Structure 1
Amino acid sequence: MYSCKYPPLRFNAPCLLAPGLLLFNRLRCRSCSAPIMGSMAAQISDDLDGDLSKVVPTTIMMVALTSVFLGSLFLCMGAFRITFIANYVPYPVIAGFLSGIGLQLMNNGLHMSSPLVFTRQVFTLQQLLLLFPALSFVTLARVAQHRNWAVALSFPSILIVSFVSFHIVTFVCGVSTEELQTNGWIFEWSAPLVAQSPMWHPWTSIDFGLIEWGVLAREGVRFTVPLVILGAIKYSVAATSLSTVFSRDISADNEMKVVGWANLLCGALGSCGGCHYLPAMGIMKQIAGHEKVPALVCSTLLLLLWVTGIQMLELVPKFIFGGLLLSVGMKFLDSFFTAPLKFLKPAEIAVLGFITSSFLVIGMLESVALGTLISMIELLYHIHQVGCIYLEATGAAKQSTMVRSPEELMALQIRGGAIFILRLQGFLVFGTSAKIVKRIERCVQSLEPGRVRFVVLDFELVPNVDARAVLNLRKVLALTDQFDFDVYLCGLTPQIETRLTHNHTDSSRVHFQLKDFDSALRTRILESESRAGDSQERRRMHQQLRTFKSQIDELKSNLQRSQLMDGSQQRQQANDPNDELGRIDDHLGDAQGIIARTEATAQNVDETREDTSEAGLHLKKLKCKMFSQIVLLYLVILGLVIVIIWRVISKFA
């Protein structure tokens, strides 16, 4: 569990500093906040000139305070519901994050089985023998998965059979524990390391008077910003990934609050905090278990480690851990790398492969930060594609449900082409708001002078604007005198109106405080247009109005004539009662046929209901049987764990 690709640190120090050995190894092997805490530990060591009597207690306190700080941060994120930021991370980035975890798990599984797996020495007989059981474990797990065996039974069975078979073979062959450690079959932990491995050991071994609080405060302030940014991003993505793992909606805010309390507890107990163990979540998904089960199992194991240390893991062969990591890693790759290739676009596939490969090349936190940067670039690109203009039209083409007077309709028909309408949408930012200025400039410049007399900007779908958008909108207002048109701003929220009118020079061509688009047309444009214009335009408008009224009268007379003709046809049809009786007989026959079909349908529904109830009883029996099998299996596992603990205690007693 504590093996690492880095060599362990060696101290020529008294027994007081022995817990630092285990602590530094943990810091160098963790993948969450370890890079930042490792940098803080290195800087503390430099500031104290390598004096281990002060470095170790200061570093232990740094780890505890960092866990408490992160726990408080995550509690605030969950309480104020700001974890939703991770929801804006695209699916290829989330899938790359999860498949990268799978790739890293496979890499760790191979390294755990054989430390020389990626070297030329792996082709020796001894190293191949170390790899063979782990690969066999993965093969059996994959066969069970493809044959759709009950994972709740097959997976624990493989674990138990592997453990029992290993110890039977070693007992028959007479191999000692020292030989197993030397040959790499089990973990090679020294007796002092095992004795000092309980997580409570640092609190009881350090001298709090040797802690350099000034150095600790200075380095804490220095690394606060990267710790907050990287920690919040990584943990938010991990919490949001649970919905992807279990294919259903899981509240990331609640999960962040739970993680916050867990980190506070870890800091109080003197150990490193953590986040969701996604591989354990993958195992629960694989065996159709509840997502809270990994938390309970991991909490129990961590409590045992905190009390007893790592001595209970000495008898477990390394290939079981390696095979388990390989199996879960391959499951992650199947679910979040291979499966998405079937429906993702080529650009999204490239992002998925890039994020996945970056896990092994640059590390987990760096790949999450890189994925966040890619998400921001993609979000800006999509915002640029969508734009802020929801609708672009003229007064003649824009339809409305408002009832208008004949004069207003005539004004729209005659003057509608001079009204340019832009209905805006979304949050107006620096990039999208520039399109408004360009579109209005292009419109007023492309047409003949004086053609566009009114520009209507509808803000009904705009929640807010930024400072650059305010400047761009003021550019539009400045164009009114240059191109001789009026601007009507309608649907403004009080916040947007305040920002636009602040330090703005009043102009008779700029009109605020309009409720909506229809009010702008009716109260400010159509009424003035219907009363405006020269005498020739008014005569033409009234002539068209009289023509319109005569057409309405003609339509009314045609409607009355058609109604009279329909009445005479009905009277003629009433004189033929035999035809009416024949139609009634036909309708009666159709009704009887419908009744017969309805009765047959009701009978089928009753039979279906009976079949459903029988199927429900059968499913309940199957559920009870499966539950009893699982309970029996876990009782067997519990018995084996008790035997192992008894053997360990009896061995070291």
Structure 2
Amino acid sequence: MKWFQYNKSNLKGDLFGGITAGIVALPLALAFGVQSGMGAVAGLYGAIGLGIFASVFGGTKTQISGPTGPMTVVSSLVILTAIESTGSLDKGLGLVLAIFILAGALLVIFGLFKLGSYIQYIPYPVVSGFMTGIGVIIIVFQIFPMMGQKSPSSIMGVFTALPTAFAGLNLDALILTCATIAVIYTFPKITKLIPSPLVALLAVSSISSWVGLNVPLIGHIPEGLPEFHLQKLTFSGMDPGLLIKLALTLALLGAIDSLLTSMIADNITKTKHNSNKELIGQGIGNMFAACIGGLPGAGATMRTLVNINSGGRTPLSGVVHGLVLLLILMGLGVYAAQIPLAVLSGILITVGVGIIDYKGIRHIKHVPMSDSVVMILVLVLTVFVDLIQAVAAGMILASVLFMKQMSDVVTRELKISSLSTYRKELPWQDEHIPTEIIDKIYVKHLDGPLFFGFAPAFQDVTKTLPNIRVVIFRMEKVPYVDQTGLYSLEEVIRSLEAKGIAILMTGLQHQPLRMLKRINLIPGLIPEPYHFKSFADCMAWLEEELLDRKIDKMHMFFDELDEANKKHRLIPQYRL
């Protein structure tokens, strides 16, 4: 019963957060349902079932779950494959729902076997290329709907049929799509109290109905409580290997999508999610959603952020979000049927644009070439080949390239000396910190490459530090930093500075120093004077600045040091 305990102190915040997240989820659920091919109501059913059960059983208190862009892309693939195998959606519905349930069961198994902690070791370039590819897929599949036509079932089909799309252009549909996109991007400049996708959905749909534009509509949406489809479930009609592959793809993507959102929620709420429990909750939620004919989903970043910013702090907010959608379904289904598909197309285009990793693309010329190659490869394979093959290829290539880089580093560093010159190494023995300031300084030793496998442990630095004013990162033994390591380092530095802690670095080798400068961590976050060639130089500078003043005034030095670091500028001499 521990999972169901509730502290009423945040009841108001949870209610408001859940209601707000439910309102935000409405247009997205409808849009994802239409894109999947199962209809708008499938998106609502998925948001309701997954939203409620993933919150109750999951391991992230503020997470809002439901159909997401990446999961909808894979769901569409599952549905198309089932239609090809059975002849129609009606005949293949039981097979589709069975795959969705199997994917949920796999997520539960992942959680029970404690595989959640391993998801965080996926290299950043793999995640970046994968998510960017998903965003591209979503946008490309909206080219035909925004012109008032049904989209082909494959990416290549979209490109080859483009002349047909332009020939049959529905200008009214194109205008509605553009108007929807314009409202979504401009309305937040007026106010952020009302979600812009909801404003676009209501305003543009109302204008379309009032003017009487000739555009395709969502059509009939069943009202009332969802029905269970357990009697339709079947695993026949498809090759077992393909069936398992599709379910595994959904499960892996759901795990990655959910746990990435969990980490974002942790950074905002300063809490710690339970990754394995979260996978179990996502699995149970997806299984229930499939039982009522809903789409599978995962933790939704935007809806989770809306929930947190609106006051949601416990799983009750996720349950409220699902109940709000259920009430809307029971009372407003007849009005939702009049929503133009072109409006949903505009919403999905903005979703696709939001999924693309612009940070990774912007730094593609500045991070190590191997990371750039991995990201581009995963992106291309995601769009044109297969999602799970893209991730697998990216992981394999990232591992091989990293091993090659480490081999090169070791070869360059290897030195052969005579026995007479050998001395037993006593590492880090050069640290002689004056007793007057030793309680203000923390020295963090980094030993070895800062890469995607080391990043999670490195990010925990900020959670275990004592009450100090300055952190000195000793980088003498860090020969290599990859893209994931760079971004982890940036996150740690920002977290420390948020606590009023200044950062110094010593002994940066050539490759890490070059990477830090290329993405402007030096001097953007760490000014040049705070980077020292050796630890001795660093301590000499601190001693010169500190030891000529009274101990009870030293805190002023550290305050000035921290403020100068925050302002990203060079500092004057510290003399009181």
Q: TM-score, normalised by structure 2?
A: 0.48
Q: TM-score, normalised by structure 1?
A: 0.44
Higher helix share: 1
Larger radius of gyration: 1
